[in-house]
Structure 1
Amino acid sequence: MNGNHPEPVEDYTTANLILIFVNLMWIFAAVWSAWGLGPVLVLATVLNHLITRLDLHKRRKRPGLDGTGPI
């Protein structure tokens, strides 16, 4: 190993979050126009539940962040 460190890369988190938001909005608009507001609310609730489960799963995998022990 020659000790060369790679250059830091740009943080595209904000751009990715904006694109996710834009895509969710047009998908919700398409579902709303096709089937009404009910399925949009169900889809939003399911997505919220899945994101919450993913967060809990990630917290359980990291030590000290599950709420049962010291940080």
Structure 2
Amino acid sequence: MPHSIVTDVCEGVADCVDACPVACIHPGPGKNVQGTDWYWIDFSTCIDCGICFQVCPVTGAIVQEERPDLQKTPS
């Protein structure tokens, strides 16, 4: 099951983007409620390797399950 980036917790650090082996993490449009850049995980591409979860320095920004309700995925 893919991981999810909690849009309103993400601080736009982007360590996850460089670490992702399948390039499934993308920048979201605009800013989140904190006024920072944010990223989202393409659930159809994510291989559930967990690297993003390991490298993210922001507590609670990534959860180890697919949670579309927490991740504002652009359409």
TM over 0.5: no
Query: Which one has a larger percent strand, Structure 1 or Structure 2?
Result: 2
Structure with more relative contact order (C-alpha pairs < 8 Å, separation 6 or more): 2
Please say which structure displays the higher CA radius of gyration.
Answer: 1
The TM tier, using the shorter chain, reads under 0.3
Give me the TM-score of the superposition, normalised by structure 2: 0.22
